[in-house]
Structure 1
Amino acid sequence: MALPRLQSTKVPAPDSEPKLSSAIQEDGFDPQCPPWSPPTKGILSKLPPSWVPYAELSRIEKPGGLYGFYMAYLIGISYGACLVTPAPSPATLIGTAGILLVYNVFLRGAACTINDILDRDYDRQVARCRSRPVARGAVTPSQGYVWYCAQTLGAGAAIACLPNPLTALAYAAPIQFLVSVYPLSKRYTDFPQLVLSAPIAGGVLMAAAAIGMDPFHAPTPALAGATAALFFSHYVWTTIFDYVNACQDTADDIKAGVRSMAVRYRNTNTFIGLLGAAQVGSLVVTGVLAGFSPVYFIGAAGGNALWLAAMVKTGLAHVVATITAAGAAVHHVFPCFNTTFSTLSMSSRLAGSFPASRVWFFNRYKCQIEKLLSPSATVQCGGENTRWSEYAAPQPGAIITVGSEDDVAKIVAFANEKNIPFLVQSGANGWADTFTLDSSGVIIDVSGLKAITFNSDKTEVTFQAGVTNADMIRAAWDNDARVSTSTCNCVSLLGATLGGGLSRTQGVYGLNVDQILSLNLVDATGNKETVTAQSDPHFWWALKGAGANFGIVTSGIFKSYPLPQANNTAWTGPVVFDQSQLEQVVSAINDIDLEPEMQLDLYFAVSAPDNVPTVIVLPFYLGSEEVGRQKFAPILAVGPAADGTAVLPYNVWNDAGDAFCVRGGRKPSYTAGLKTMDAAAWRGVWDEYVSFVEQHPGEAGNSTILTECYSTEVALRRIGDSQSSYPFRDVKCYAIAIPWYDDPALDNDANELGRKARSYWTSSDGAPSPVAYINFAHGDEPLDHIYGSSLTRLRRLKQKYDPNKRFNQWFPLS
């Protein structure tokens, strides 16, 4: 279909600068212009006379233009706030908006200044512009350039105060360049409005980037498209605004040889209608791709459509006549229309970031999701997500509890399509503060996937992602088998394994990652895949130590070791010491060579009923009590106050730690890997621990210091580092400080305890650089402390297997 023919007037480009009267050429002003008089009201009248011309260059008396610049930044802030994770705090949004307002004062001032300098000869021939400072001779071009540079530096200083200054600067530089060359475009093209619109609309991108939503690093193609559509919408809006504004000067522009769209397309309602349709259509595309609520479509897209329709219906000639008659009012009225709809747009977008709106958002998708899933799956919108620790816990908008492994693939594909962040959860015990999931995202709960199947000779076991250590121990015990598990019953076996998987039996069998024979997973695109060492060696290597960054493992096959129940025992139990013996105990642990059958734990805990902090060692030996006591003789020789050791069956080995499985409370934990244990450092940790629990009696009584020590014989010497991305096979002990309390007012003291304990440990750990086992880490550690020598290779593989960073909640590599 052919487009309507527009009324077009071709204005030839002038061969030279406009011919001015001799008076203008010689003296710099036109004697026919009405004389300029000092302002008697408004902000200019309050300034010293020598400041007035510079204030006029910056147009501070005409804030309408500032609104026109600044509203793009308000839209960008609100847009980014809805989509970036974690959601910025109100203080961050308000602070960023304030800084960008200051930036826009300088930016707009610099743009107006350079415009007046370059256009001074043209301005003298245009009635509306003749009294501008450079045109009338109140400011020389040289003085104007100095003022332009000063304002540009002011804009740069404002950028330096933003949350992401370097990212913002990457957008600010081309914006500054384009507003500076805009005046020259009037000499060489009929479309200077298209040049000016780019830097003004660029404010949408810059503001979004300033709060962490960098448009050129959008997490999904849909979000990249939404951002591009929003930019284009504001670009077209600015073109419409500047086109109508330029229509006031059409007659003078033709005389002066100034080229513009207002000269080429004169008073054409069809032209405005086409631009308006493109602008509103782009707003709709933005809303669809970003998943905004109906409030957005009604307020932003609908509001702009109604205003543009009213303007076309009224007739552009009438609008221009009204604006011209109103004079300076155009600088207030026109941007105010856009500011009104921008603010409405911003409000409707921001509404999507609040929990109540997100509940609505997920309720909208609930029926669609439920139709995709198996009958036993559930979708809960806005419910509470109970975890082992409430500190820095993810706060999802919905929890989807799957009923089958296929459900996981369908949810990931749906979340990718709708640009919904997600986090997989099984035992819900992860305590790190790297979670960014908020009410814009969903939890994929796999805790109901509990199937466990042994092969006929009990050498392999297939199990699903919801299986905990306790589940596997019970099943293995009932099948006359032993399976390597972690030391805490309530933890997901696969979840702990994908980070390395420490085990009491690792001295004999290796780490839990060494038990994996194959993994079934859902990748970043939502596809199901079975991975083995042969099918994809690089992927296999990455999954065994950094699995949470590469996929959602729904089931796997482990090695199993057939063993009759009668032989499936170990000597273990608590051995209690007085705190005065701490240095002797620590020295004995440091000196002891843990053979493959040996493992031990060291606790600081508050003992009932007298609530006195106590030192407890939990020795573990795969064998008889007699041999076990011989192996741990250096520790026992210190002289314990109590000895609760005994030969215990496999199915109760972890029971001593069940008290730690209680959910709820706040537990910001800190860790360090230790090759050596220094007695003096541990006395410092003890003093900090005792101080914390005594300062908060009752409230912090469950707090503990826990250290797990393992034999490295099989994990390091027989298997080696090359078999998995887990990098710390040579580490003997893993220490954790676990403050435990309910009152958030204790957060500062708790974190101080953790940081001080970690500092004592890392200063005496015997390692070339700090070590933080990913399953125990706090979340503030540098990634090389988490992934060690594997980090560089893991980052390369992350780009290959998850380029859109969909798995980015647990110590993200990207």
Structure 2
Amino acid sequence: MKTDEIADYFHQNLSPGSSVHVTSDPASASAITPRWNLWSSPTYVVAVKPALNSDVQKVIQYAAEKNIAFLTTGGGHGYSGTLGAIKAGIQLDMGNFNTVSVDVERNVMTAGGCLTLRDVADAAYAKGKSLTIGMCSKVGIGGATLGGGMGFYSGLYGLMSDSLLSVDIVTGTGELLTASDTENRELFWGIKGAGYNFGSVTSFTYRVQDQPNAGMVMNADMTFKGAQNESIWEFSKTMLESQPAELSLVFAMRYDPEVKDISIVVNAIYVGTLEEGKAVIEPLLKLDPTNVEISYIPWPEAPDAANYKITKITSAISFTNVPHAVNLYSISVKALAELTKHLYNVASTNPAVQGTLVTFTQYANQGFRDNSDGKMAARGRVGSAFPYRQPTVYAQTHGLSLDPSLADALDAFGKEICTMLLESSGQTQLELYTNFARGDEGPEAWYSAENLPRLQALKRRYDPKNIFSFYNPISSGE
């Protein structure tokens, strides 16, 4: 269809509070949510910002009727390569769904579908409450929650989706539904871990908690030389089974061309007193890191402060980022030492891959276990389609560059590293957190073979035309 026809339809049929933008108009760039990752980007001819749930229904129904690809966007940080399949599509920008409220007495937060993690963190903190948020504050709550949503409070509370009480969703059939523990329970299960396959969520309602430790956390960043890597991996291995619920860890490794060596940054966030936090990371401090920065800050500031504020800086700039990921359920110090050496050998001689960042994220497992399907059922609640709740290191490679021409080299090197990690773990089947996916691993890797038949049944019921098929999609199974 012609762009003008699409834009005219929405101008004529959406409510007055909505807006419609032709993306070829330079002025549209400031009116719609920008995309962070420039790799495998979707392209749009029209961007629509609906004002009401009924407007969202009209956009979805129109796209389905006219067979036009579309994508619902919130924070703009989803980076799966599957999104590149959208060509000349419609951007369904949730920017007008931007309110948040906290009911202090009931410990309930309701948040619009476009809000970021920092938005909800600030709202909760202002009321003396807390909830799990991820380690990049600019990420939208929509994509994070629908894939599970993990962060430094996961050891205490589990996933963001574990705290979900309900959602308002427009499904692929155009229905506006509420899914919760009492309504559309099976859909609610699927939404919590694979939700972007079934519809566009306009509102999320979460259970929030009284914030521990008066809302203060320790943030510690430590830098180590490549030669110290085995001691770092030994610490990671020790923590995999014994990590305090209050502690989260991120290990980030890259080749630094300025010092011509591997640099390893360890970030630790501890939900407790400064003295307790320092005691927990004492084994790392005894390794005599080349740099240490420790701060004691309100918890919403932790993601922006972490890793020497690099996540905050890079998340505000559009990058070419080619991702790869693999879940690790055990730590082989020998294998990680060999990987560190391999990273040095390749990156030190090949400038094209020097933007490769390898990260290992470790959250304490208590919150994941406490919200397993069995324990949720015992509390009369619906479980979750999120499949991987055992003690896990979420390993990732980020092929980062401001030069798009380096994407293929970064892609190949990232795949090579994750293949080495998978082999080192003793696993034969790739498993990974879907929000970290490159996009070619397949639904069994993202959602598990065990969950897939149940998710496919939901797909047939709520998205029979398969219009929600561009973010790590589930087929109908038929």
TM-score, normalised by the number of residues in structure 2:
0.88
Q: CA deviation at 1:472?
A: 1.1
Task: Check if 1:676 corresponds to 2:325.
Answer: no
Unmatched segments (≥5 aa) in structure 2: 377-382
State the Cα RMSD in Å: 2.3
* 1:653 match: secondary structure: helix
Contact 2:117 2:141 in 1 (8 A): yes
Tell me which residue corresponds to 2:8.
367
- Mapped partners of 1:419, 1:480: distance in 2: 47
Say if 2:326 and 2:432, in contact at 8 Å, map to a contact too: yes
1:572 partnered with 2:214: no
1:509 to 157, 163, 169: 157
Kindly indicate whether residue 263 of structure 2 is the aligned counterpart of residue 614 of structure 1. yes
User: Which residue of structure 1 lines up, in the alignment, with residue 419 of structure 2?
Assistant: 759
Amino acid at match of 2:340: W
Residue by residue over 1:340-368, the C-alpha shift from the partner in whole angstroms, topping out at 9 and shown as x without a partner, is: xxxxxxxxxxxxxxxxxxxxx12122122
Tell me if the contact between 1:446 and 1:465 (Cα under 8 Å) persists in the aligned partners.
yes
Q: Distance in 2 between matches of 1:687 and 1:432?
A: 28
2:436 matched to which residue of 1? 776
CA distance in 1, matches of 2:245, 2:359: 21
Matches within 5 A, 1:370-381: 370-381=11-22
Measured after TM superposition, the shift of residue 702 of structure 1 is 5.2
1:797 aligns with 2:444: no
Does the 8 Å contact 1:522/1:528 carry over to 2? Answer: yes
Could you tell me whether the CA contact under 8 Å between 2:225 and 2:262 is conserved in 1?
A: no
What is the number of residues matched between the two proteins?
453
Partner of 1:628: helix, strand, or coil? helix
Structure 2: which amino acid aligns with 1:719? S
Equivalent position amino acid for 1:710 in 2: Y
* Map 1:402-441 → 2, pairs under 5 A: 402-441=50-89
Which residue of structure 1 lines up, in the alignment, with residue 228 of structure 2? Answer: 581
- What are the residue-to-residue correspondences of 1:347-366 with 2, within 5 Å? 361-366=2-7
Tell me, yes or no, if structure 1 residue 489 matches structure 2 residue 137. Answer: yes
Match of 1:387 in 2: 35
Contact 1:380 1:400 survives alignment (8 Å): yes
SS of the residue 2:38 aligns to: coil
Q: Secondary structure at the match of 2:81?
A: coil
Asked whether the 8 Å contact 1:685–1:756 carries over to 2, the reply is no
CA shift, 1:746, in A, is 1.5
Give 1:352's aligned residue. Answer: none
Which residue in 2 is equivalent to 1:463? 111
CA contact (8 A) 1:399 1:442 kept: yes
2:330 alignment partner, SS class:
coil
Q: Partners in 1 of 2:51 and 2:355 — Cα distance?
A: 35
- 1:639 Cα deviation after fit: 3.0
Q: Provide the secondary structure at the position in 1 that maps to 2:178.
A: strand
Provide the identity percentage: 24
| Structure 1 residue 404 displacement after superposition | 3.4
Q: In the alignment, what sits opposite 1:530?
A: 178
Answer whether contact 1:531 1:539 (CA < 8 A) is retained.
yes
Residue 767 (structure 1) shift: 4.7
Candidates 385, 388, 405, aligned match of 1:728? 388
The aligned runs of 1:558-707 (5 Å cut-off) are 558-563=206-211, 567-592=214-239, 593-605=242-254, 613-655=262-304, 656=306, 657-690=311-344, 693-694=347-348, 697=351, 703-707=356-360
Cα distance in 2 for residues equivalent to 1:661 and 1:606: 20
Shift of 1:416: 1.9
Q: Deviations over 1:147-184 (max 9, x none)?
A: xxxxxxxxxxxxxxxxxxxxxxxxxxxxxxxxxxxxxx
The aligned counterpart of 1:337 is: none
1:746 and 2:399 matched: no
Match of 1:34 in 2: none
Separation in 2 of the partners of 1:512 and 1:745? 36
Q: Deviations over 1:20-61 (max 9, x none)?
A: xxxxxxxxxxxxxxxxxxxxxxxxxxxxxxxxxxxxxxxxxx
Relative to structure 1, the CA distance from residue 636 to residue 500 in structure 2 (aligned partners, 3 Å threshold; closer, same or farther) is: same
1:337-395 superposed Cα distances (whole Å, 9 cap, x missing partner): xxxxxxxxxxxxxxxxxxxxxxxx12122122112223343222243684111111111
2:361 equivalent in structure 1: 708
Distance 1:436 1:606 in 2: 29
Distance 1:766 1:662, change over 3 A: farther
Cα displacement (A) at 1:791 = 1.4
Structure 2 vs 1, CA of residues 456 and 595 (structure 1 numbering), >3 Å: closer, same or farther? closer
Distance 1:653 1:607 in 2: 25
1:214-253 → structure 2 map (5 Å cutoff): none
Distance in 1, matches of 2:102 and 2:260, equals: 45
Q: Which structure has greater strand proportion?
A: 2
> CA-to-partner distance for each residue in 1:541-562, whole Å, 9 max, x for gaps?
1111000101111111011123
Structure-1 separation of matches of 2:425 and 2:273: 32
The C-alpha deviation readout for 1:452-486, integer Å capped at 9, x for no partner, is: 01114261110011100111122222222212211
What amino acid is the match of 2:51?
G
For normalisation by structure 1, the TM-score amounts to 0.53
Q: Which residue of 1 aligns with 2:380?
A: none
The corresponding residue for 1:785 is 445
In the TM superposition, residue 718 of structure 1 has moved relative to its aligned partner by 5.0
For the residue of structure 1 that corresponds to 2:54, the secondary structure is: helix
* Unpaired segments ≥5 residues, structure 1: 1-290, 292-360
SS of residue paired to 2:444: helix
CA distance in 1, matches of 2:341, 2:11: 54
Shift of the 664–597 alpha-carbon distance from structure 1 to 2, 3 Å rule, reads same
1:696 to partner: Cα distance: 6.1
- Given the alignment, which residue of 393, 397, 406 partners 1:737? 397
**Shift of residue 774, structure 1, vs aligned partner:** 0.4
| Contact 1:674 1:732 survives alignment (8 Å) | yes
- Is contact 1:692–1:749 with CA below 8 Å preserved after alignment? no
Query: How far is 1:609 from its partner?
Result: 7.2
Partners of 1:407 and 1:684 lie apart in 2 by 54
Q: Which has the higher helix share?
A: 1
- Between the aligned partners of 2:170 and 2:345, the Cα distance in structure 1 is 47
Q: Deviations over 1:538-588 (max 9, x none)?
A: 111111100010111111101112348x71011222011111010110121
